[in-house]
Amino acid sequence: MYILANNLKPIMIEQINSLLSGFDELEKQISDPNIMSDQKRYTELLRKHKAMKPVVELGRKYLALEGEIEEYHSIIQSKEDPELVEIAREELPSLIEAKEELSEELKIAMLPKDSDAARNIIAEIRAGTGGEEAALFASDLYRMYQRYCERHGYKVEVMNTHEASAGGLKEIIFSISGNEVFGRMKYESGVHRVQRVPATEASGRIHTSAASIAVLPEVEEVEVEINPNELKIDVFRSSGPGGQSVNTTDSAVRITHLPTGAVVTCQDEKSQHKNKAKALQVLRARLYQKQREEEEAKMAAQRRAQVSTGDRSAKIRTYNFPQGRVTDHRINLTLYRLNEIMDGDLDEIIEALVLDERNRKLQEVANDSFITP
């Protein structure tokens, strides 16, 4: 039986008790042999368990602390043992202070969570307006994310590249794996704009170019079922800049998902089998993201609380080289540390975006019930 605390809103206490009961039931389901045989369901439950566990631990800690405070109050009111009463009077203020601090922590922990935050990602960078300069900027962005991943111990694996003839990248698709990758990298989806003087510009005029970035949550094969009959698979020889062949065998793979028209090409591996596996991995991520966006579109209130929709057409950030500044337009944040940021020091921007999203959610639920993960 869980203790009812008096310091938090009654509705929130109900949420805590409901969370703890639900977590107990979740653990029973995970150990159920029938559910363990259903790989898709088992994977979903494990992910939910991982997301809930930190909040559950905070909830248990809070309720235990509340119980201890109530016991101290009882000792003081009883006046039976003067020595115990004195000890209780001395320790009670620190316990109350700890409870208040934990209360604030719980309020944040119990905000609506992105269920995909813990997932790895598949990122796609594509050169946009700006021709050769846009391709060079796309290459710079990829290097920026490489350096960011090195700083955080994330693993990067290139899945497909399409190089520009004059250097740079027309497109690159790569995966990033590590702890809470999607929860941090999801804010990078959108149009990134660069303002600088291209190396080929003799007059020194500043050009504006752009590249689009899509950050997709990576999904397991059991989570997104793809009907083989709905796929059109073409194989061909890999090509490099300018179209020249870089392989003597038909190892490159192009997969078209007929119901949605989604097309994925992978050619970086020498093995046709490996390229096909990577292409399917990218396709699953795109289909999952499409489903995710459709679900979010139906939840207008929740979507308003998000800092960005992830729409690739939305300009989210500008990198101005002459002024050495980076501006994130979603939160009106301007930093004059362009060189460090291009070298992968993105933490200040990402932390600001995380904080902004959290504040929006706190404001939205300030006078309403809290929602558990």
User: pLDDT per residue over 42-90, tens digit each?
Assistant: 888 888 888 888 889 988 998 888 888 888 888 888 877 888 888 888 8
One-letter amino acid at 280 equals L
Task: Tell me which residues of the chain have a pLDDT lower than 50.
Answer: 1-6, 245, 300-312, 367, 369-373
One-letter amino acid at 117 equals A
Please tell me the predicted confidence (pLDDT) of residue 241: 57
**CB of 337 closer than 8 Å to CB of 217:** no
How far is 266 from 174, CA to CA, in rounded Å? 11
As a whole number of Å, the CA-based R_g of the chain is: 26
The number of angstroms, rounded, from the C-alpha of 149 to the middle of its chain's C-alpha atoms is 14
Tokens describing residue 304: 């308003």
- H helices of the chain, in order, are 10-30, 33-36, 39-78, 82-109, 131-152, 181-185, 272-297, 300-304, 338-342, 347-364
Please tell me the predicted confidence (pLDDT) of residue 253: 92
How far is 190 from 125, CA to CA, in rounded Å? 10
Question: For residue 265, which phi and psi values (nearest 5 degrees)?
Answer: -120, 135
Q: How many CA atoms lie within 13 A of 84 on its CB side?
A: 11
Please tell me the predicted confidence (pLDDT) of residue 240: 62
Whole-number Cα distances in Å, 178 to 115, 238, 366: 16, 30, 33
The pLDDT tens digits of the residues spanning 143-201 come to 999 999 999 999 999 999 999 887 899 999 999 999 889 999 999 999 999 999 987 67
How far is 371 from 177, CA to CA, in rounded Å? 28
Sign of CA dihedral 269, 273, 275, 277: negative
Tokens describing residue 267: 């050619």
Burial code of 101-131, b = ≥16 C-beta within 10 A, e = fewer?
A: ebbeebbebbbebbebbbbbbbbbbbbbebb
* Interstrand relation of 190-196 and 315-320 (parallel, antiparallel or unpaired): parallel
How far is 255 from 284, CA to CA, in rounded Å? 11
How far is 19 from 4, CA to CA, in rounded Å? 13
**Torsion (CA) 102, 107, 112, 113 in degrees, nearest 10:** -20
Tokens describing residue 36: 């363990």
Please tell me the predicted confidence (pLDDT) of residue 337: 96
Whole-number Cα distances in Å, 207 to 61, 292, 340: 56, 36, 22
Please tell me the predicted confidence (pLDDT) of residue 88: 84
- Rounded to 5°, the CA angle 187-193-197 comes to 145
Question: For residue 200, which phi and psi values (nearest 5 degrees)?
Answer: -90, 0
Please tell me the predicted confidence (pLDDT) of residue 298: 63
How far is 22 from 19, CA to CA, in rounded Å? 5
Please tell me the predicted confidence (pLDDT) of residue 204: 78
Q: Which of 279, 274, 270, 288 is nearest to 233 (CA)?
A: 279
Q: Which of 201, 203, 195 is nearest to 321 (CA)?
A: 195
**CB of 193 closer than 8 Å to CB of 210:** yes
Q: Which CATH architecture has domain 121-360?
A: 2-Layer Sandwich (3.30)
